[in-house]
Amino acid sequence: MPRSYSAALPIAHVVLRILIVLNWLYGLAIIALLVVLPHEQWIMVAFKIPPSPDAARLIMGLRAIAMLGLAAVPLHYIVLKRLLAMVETVRAGDPFVAANAQRLQTIAWALVAQQILSLIIGVIVRVISTPAHPVNIDAGFSVNGWLAVILTFVLARVFAEGALMRDDLEGTV
Amino acid sequence: MAIAVKLDDLLYARRMTLTELAERVGITIVNLSILKTGKARAIRFSTLEAICAALSCQPGDILEYLPDVAAEAEAA
């Protein structure tokens, strides 16, 4: 086994654990934002937005985006937790198991949900963004994102087939 | 499984133990035991060849197809 592989797994393990913690912090930050966002006057002063119908729409849009961002937290958790479990099986030397195929399938569906959230956020950004108050959020349709979804679904099938082959091999004398 | 492994009978006829056969064919006693008890899902040609050579027999002496068992499995 190449040396880079032996280093990659512990690094992946640590990075995934850090990302799980950061995801919870990200969720807490969004909750904090949602607590602050009801105070429209405070936001309008902070962003120097004059009172107008556009401003009300902007704040409503930001609230909706924050809510959708909060919905993404459990989705990130699903992906990270399952990836961590998969890394554990690779470290244990037995990654081609049916459980990993199921984990990849779940990750793929979580990625679909994330892409849908991103599409909705992209639409909201288009609606609330005005030349006077441009909203720059990197959301919307992503070729790479949907490609990752397809790749993960395919990988789930590969793992399912691999697990079957592994089972067969185990019963071969 | 409608394929029966008759390794036990052959070993008895040759007055050979499973350990001796394992040593001769270079397969672990655990794997041979899996084969002997009919728990194996598949057998490699190389394994079959080694066993046939060690026991001076034909593959048909080791394996037997049981049509009755196959019919029962199909009905179930």
Among A62-71, A86-95, A130-139, B40-49, where is mean pLDDT lowest?
Answer: A130-139
Domain locations in chain A as residue ranges: 3-170
Q: Tell me which residue range forms the domain holding B70.
A: 3-75
Q: For A99-131, write each residue's pLDDT tens digit.
A: 999 999 999 999 999 999 999 999 999 988 877
Q: Cβ contacts (< 8 Å) between B27 and chain A: which residues? A: 173
pLDDT-wise least confident of A74-88, A125-139, B14-28: A125-139
Check CB contact under 8 Å for B43 and A171: no
CB burial string B6-20: b at 16+ within 10 A, e below: bbeebbeeeeeeeee
Categorize the per-residue pLDDT at B62 as very low, low, confident or very high, splitting at 50, 70 and 90. Answer: very high
The yes-or-no verdict on residue B50 having pLDDT over 80 is yes
Considering its fold, how many domains does chain B have in total? 1
* Closest partner CB to A168 (pick from B31, B32, B42): B42
Three-state DSSP class for residue B3: strand
Instruction: Kindly provide the ipTM of the predicted complex, given to two decimals.
Output: 0.73
Secondary structure (3-state) at A172: strand
Which residues in chain A have Cβ-Cβ distances shorter than 8 Å to B34?
171, 173
Q: Which residue of A has its CA nearest to B39?
A: A171
Contact A166/B at CB under 8 A: no
Q: Which residue type occupies A49?
A: I
- Give me the pLDDT at residue A103, please: 97
Q: Please give the pLDDT value at position B71.
A: 80
pLDDT digits (tens, 9 = 90+) for B1-20: 789 999 999 999 999 999 99
Q: How much of chain A exceeds pLDDT 70, in percent? A: 95
Confidence of residue A1 (pLDDT cuts 50, 70, 90): very low
* Chain A nearest-CA residue for B50: A173
Closest CA to A20 of A8, A12, A10: A12
Which CATH number does the domain housing residue B49 bear?
Answer: 1.10.260.40
d(CA A66, CA A36): 11
The residue-averaged pLDDT of A73-82 equals 97
The CA distance from A140 to the nearest CA of chain B, in Å, is 50
Q: Which residues in B lie closer than 8 A to residue A172 (C-beta atoms)?
A: 40-44
Q: pLDDT at position A110, please?
A: 97
How many residues comprise chain A? 173
Instruction: Compute the distance between CA of residue A99 and CA of residue A91 in angstroms, rounded to an integer.
Output: 15
* Mutation site for A-interface testing, chosen from B41, B43, B45 by largest number of A Cβ within 10 Å: B41
- A173 contact residues in B (CB cutoff 8 A): 27, 31-32, 34-35, 40, 42-44, 47
CA angle A45, A139, A16 (to 5 degrees): 105
- Give the residue with greater pLDDT, A157 vs A54: A157
